[in-house]
Structure 1
Amino acid sequence: MSRWTTTLTRLLAVALLIPGLALAAPTPPDQLARETVQTVLGRMDGHREELRKDPNQLYKLIDDELIPLVDLPYMSQLVLGRAWRTATPDQRKRFQVAFKNMLIRTYGNGLLAFDDNTDIEYQPVRAAEGADDVTFRAIVTPDSGQKTPVTFQMHIVDGDWKIYDGSVGNLSFVTNYRGQFNSQIRNGGLEKLIERMESRYNGGS
């Protein structure tokens, strides 16, 4: 994993905890976002070594707290692009499971890299009344001190706000994964991509 990808993973890991709950209640979004992040990271404080030794505890935490905020079906369609349209129902289902497990491991491990010194500046959501698609913005400052803008695209699904894309700097989360997956699909086909992901990510989750 490149240094840039590692940084992207860590920043998204924290920021992905923010938006869904932030827009679901009348509590000001920046306040609720801060409380949500503190709650999740608080559950990790003092237990990071334990979580490193027993990753299944970490993965369960991410599955319980983070994954429900993601519109997994729609994001799966976006990252697969054209391949989604030609995939069989079974391939779509299997890809979503493997993709979810990949996210759980990726962002779980990313969260372990942060500590209480990470600063997150939440910016107010500006959208027209009744909007069902909004952009949430924050500034994340890790231990290095370098400020990085983080954005998330969210829309309403069955009455709840869900994340379907985001970016760190100028790189879209969906665009990043779509490029990786499309390259592998061109070289070996969708089925081989799914099998590779299942082999790597589906065990123990």
Structure 2
Amino acid sequence: MPADRDLRPITPRVKSAMMRTPRTPLLKRLLQVMALSLLLPAIALAAPKPPEELARETVQTILDSMEGRRDELRQNPQELYTLIEQELVPLVDMEYMSQLVLGRAWRTASPEQRERFQEAFQNMLIRTYGNGLLSFQDQQRIEYLPVRGDDDAEDITFRAQITDDQGDKVPVSLQMHVVDGEWKIYDGSVGNLSFVTNYRGQFNSQIRNGGLESLIERMEARYNSDG
């Protein structure tokens, strides 16, 4: 679990950007890579096939379902979001990830606030990574690295290396643990940037400035709609 850490103050310009999909070239590449990393199937570790083989098949299945339909999916984002929800969300321990990104605020949140945050957070991820997958190009490649760990391990790191559309090799890792007999993703990193740590810093800054309820309301207004 990532440790709490002091974070530099976030400027008003950055705060405004936090509630919309990042559009700078660096962040666009980060979204592409993280979106691809979430396609790596945690269940592969419990399957007889080598995890890198099943991962490759799973990724190809998702990308094939988008082949020739990117313009259509851009015009009909709800269809894209439904695809992402069906294929990616089951691989993620959304409740535990929500707990990690809220940090201390999760412990003081009411049951209703936890449920509402989790739903809004999930909708945010569906939109963010769905849009990231739309920009995936054929020249981008994924190399799956062998899983290291004991056969009976219940918390492991799955590593891969993605070659992005600029030819750069980007290391990706996924933190996974066993939940009710199935492997689930609860964190990931692109290079040295942790998914959970990144979002925790953003959310905690907004909670300090306006409170948890304000954060949830803004996320619901932005992501719990059909648009």
Q: TM-score, structure 1 length as denominator?
A: 0.98
Runs of 4+ in structure 1 deviating by more than 6 angstroms, as ranges, are none
Distance (whole Å) between structure 2 residues aligned to residue 118 and residue 46 of structure 1: 17
Distance (whole Å) between structure 2 residues aligned to residue 136 and residue 19 of structure 1: 10
3-state DSSP of counterpart to 1:143: coil
1:63 aligns with 2:88: no
Contact residue 142 and residue 161 of structure 2 kept, 8 A: yes
Q: Please list the CA deviations of residues 168-204 of structure 1 after superposition, one character each: whole Å capped at 9, or x if unmatched.
A: 0001100000000000001100000000000000012
* RMSD value, Cα: 1.0
3-state DSSP of counterpart to 1:77: helix
183, 192, 212: which one aligns with 1:190: 212
Contact residue 73 and residue 80 of structure 2 kept, 8 A: yes
Contact residue 19 and residue 136 of structure 1 kept, 8 A: no
Comparing 17-26 with 44-53, which one deviates more in the overlay?
Answer: 17-26
Report the equivalent of 1:88.
110
Contact residue 21 and residue 32 of structure 1 kept, 8 A: no
108, 112, 121: which one aligns with 2:134: 112
Gaps of 5+ in 1: none
Gaps of 5+ in 2: 1-21
**Percent identity, aligned pairs only?**
67
Match runs of 1:121-160 below 5 Å = 121-160=143-182
Distance (whole Å) between structure 2 residues aligned to residue 151 and residue 19 of structure 1: 12
- What number of residue pairs does the alignment pair up? 205
Distance (whole Å) between structure 2 residues aligned to residue 48 and residue 23 of structure 1: 31
Distance (whole Å) between structure 2 residues aligned to residue 112 and residue 127 of structure 1: 34
3-state DSSP of counterpart to 2:183: strand
Report the equivalent of 2:4.
none
Q: TM-score, structure 2 length as denominator?
A: 0.88
Distance (whole Å) between structure 2 residues aligned to residue 186 and residue 19 of structure 1: 36
1:199 aligns with 2:221: yes
Q: Which amino acid in structure 2 is aligned with residue 122 of structure 1?
A: Y
Report the equivalent of 1:78.
100
Comparing 172-181 with 19-28, which one deviates more in the overlay?
Answer: 19-28
Q: Which amino acid in structure 2 is aligned with residue 69 of structure 1?
A: L
